[in-house]
Chains A and B, each alone.
Chain A
């Protein structure tokens, strides 16, 4: 138990004199705002100095396996001048007013927190120095810090942070914007490998994940959802279910997909999840789904063909006169590319535990986006956001699925109906597959024109995607800066929309995971027509090192060139070679070039080795974790391409039931070697959860082409 201590608005560090081991971060350790008007997003990190001179640092972001629970505390510890052995890490609750943005998505945590978290650490250090200066009555400029102590070298005086903590807490917090940050040359934590803080618990099977939540008196909920997305509950008969001993009732809720006043999900509550799950067979439901059963994979394919028969409805980006340039081009290359809907299939099925008591709702939520979950859950429960307390659990895989919070919305409503009883709602694998927010499918009709000198003079795409009223659905948009749009004089990125009833969402490297395949595979075709290999074609089109504007981010052609050159050197790229392919992509502020070697063994495709060169700025904060992230990205990308992954829809509903219908990469299909290198450039560090994924897909497709002579223009690749 941590000691609850009264805390003035100005206090900053609070020494916990209890010195106990089981600590929870609470108000006693808040890095409080220096003034009431200070912006909350830069003043809400956590630091607690313990009596034994260990320092507890709050990790504010949801941990989904990306390593953020170690990485953000590393930034604070670095500037505080702590020895890593002193650091204790605790997950904070969800509270953006205290901690700032707490989202695990878009590889944004590194760029967003690189400076603010260091400022928090530097401010803490400064206050400890001030406390020592006062205690010793010396000029703070004569003091330095190291390994959790303040030192005056001239006098040999030294004081541990623990001995100074109480006084430090009474110091006026410095202006975060004015604190002095370390010279990177002095870093001794940033850039060093730090293992995952929860690993010792994981290997012992200790409870960490949302699904492991246990609250005294807890009951369990299994869900039955309208199979056709957007359908609602017309009526249900729960008499047979309620007759089962241990079943407590059935609650109908709106998971957020259907209009207010309607419901689309029935939750059976029992004293065991196994019992609730089994009881579903006895629940008789009539669904109202006539409006949505017409949607299917076959319909989308027909709709895409219809859209291609007409001019594009709109354009994401246009320059010059591509039609005129194509008419004059020496060579014209055209091709159609497509990719399917995909599920996230995180291994921990969706779940959430909730307790409604005295008008307040408490949630234990494995959410990547708890602030959105708070707002939506409050809305569907008829509460204010302030009525909700959200505890963040470790998450058994995110991949973007848990950026959307239907499980919180469901659990909140069920808890409200079962007031006073904690309820854990858990999807089974089929629920998880059939009620996801899918990576949208897409179809592209591409045309490129080359001049007599082989230069790219015109580029056109017609992208058939999903949307309504001239706007794309979530994660189905065209990036106006899709390469090579910005480096071609005549370009048109046309877009047309068709309807879907499916909820769509962001899947790791959203949009990019599909666009990299389409554009880098097609550019390999264009390069071949120009008599070049893709790396050389990229170098020529990238041109001089410079920054190009972009809707999402500026694109630096020199950094792109840097990773292309690096991977070609390491892999020993010698132009087009049998069984070898290349891909480059820029997304989430990261530049990645990859080379894939493939072979055929017993009629089956085998990926032998992958080389990765990435530029995520001047520092790779935690190399041990960075390597793991890059490997995961590469293998996940290969999985999207080579093992048949696709989500199929019939009569408005998803057909996949389990991993037999939607395969994930297994160890025997994973390459035996993945060589990763980071090209350090003088830019602030950026995220690594996603950008290494997209280029491996075109690199694989391009490798298969050199091996078999067949171009694969549809995902999943149908090889053999």
Chain B
């Protein structure tokens, strides 16, 4: 079936089976491989995108459900001021190891800060627990979210990077 959606502000029309997940439409039909396939079951969060501003697992979102909606992916997250702050914090704190999960982490973190601009450590852990980082960069994910939120660094953040490196 042919349907239209808006991806990162640009209207796109695709011809795909109605049950094809948004993830695979992005990766295969729209040539946007930034959104990652990890589990295909909504368990790891690697495929997280924003659908009309809400974080969703794109592997569990049939393309028919995205028709007519606004999709934001990692390729476009920095078009928005908050998304850019998050991506910049990720770069500044050198968060990634292998980096495969980080698109999903950044999309989830951006959604967190949108609805909770000053999250507590428990808020961060609770919200981000749907996103697996197999390399376990969690210390820096927490620090980067605090940095993007403009929150003061916790004691633990200082131990997440070597002494002498700038956190703020």
Contact = CB atoms under 8 A, between A and B. Distances in A.
A658 interface: yes
Contacts of B74: 203-205
Contact of A209 (B100, B156, B161, B165): B100
Contacts of B103: 202, 205
A397 B139 contact: no
Interface string B116-158: 0000010011101111111111111110000000000011100
A248 B75 CA distance: 32
Contacts of B39: 429, 658-659
B128 to A, nearest CB: 5
B162 A627 contact: yes
A359 interface: no
Interface size on B, as a range, is: 35 or more
Contact of B137 (A345, A628, A658, A675): A628
B137 A631 contact: yes
Contact of B121 (A211, A635, A672): A672
A347 B38 contact: yes
A63 B96 CA distance: 12
Contact of B96 (A202, A220, A667): A202
B99 to A, nearest CB: 4
A212 interface: yes
B166 to A, nearest CB: 10
Interface size on A, as a range, is: 35 or more
Given A348-B100, A673-B155, A674-B139, A195 B94 contact: yes
Nearest to A629: B97
Contacts of A274: 17, 20-21, 24, 28
Interface string A635-658: 110010000000000000000001
A396 B87 contact: no
Contacts of A195: 91, 94
Nearest to B164: A193
Given A208-B99, A627-B162, A347 B35 contact: no
Contacts, number: 193
A606 to B, nearest CB: 12
A199 B125 contact: no
A345 B134 contact: yes
A206 B34 CA distance: 6
A214 B38 contact: no
A512 to B, nearest CB: 18
B71 interface: no
B135 A397 contact: yes
A659 B35 contact: no
A398 B132 CA distance: 15
A396 to B, nearest CB: 3
Interface string A54-89: 000000000111110000000000000000000000
A420 interface: no
A667 B91 contact: no
B97 A667 contact: no
A395 interface: yes
Contacts of B94: 193, 195-196, 199, 624-625, 628
Interface string A670-690: 101111100000000000000
Contact of A205 (B35, B38, B131, B156): B35
A667 B138 contact: yes
Interface string B75-112: 10010000000010011001111111111001000000
Nearest to B83: A203
A144 interface: no
23 contacts: A65-B96, A199-B95, A202-B90, A203-B74, A205-B75, A205-B103, A211-B33, A347-B100, A347-B132, A347-B134, A348-B98, A396-B98, A397-B100, A623-B162, A625-B94, A626-B162, A628-B137, A632-B136, A632-B137, A635-B136, A659-B44, A666-B129, A667-B141
- Identify the 6 closest CB pairs spanning chains A and B, nearest first: A205-B34, A65-B98, A396-B100, A205-B74, A635-B136, A65-B97
Interface of B: 17, 20-21, 24, 28, 31-41, 43-44, 46, 73-75, 78, 87, 90-91, 94-103, 106, 121, 124-126, 128-142, 154-156, 159-162, 165
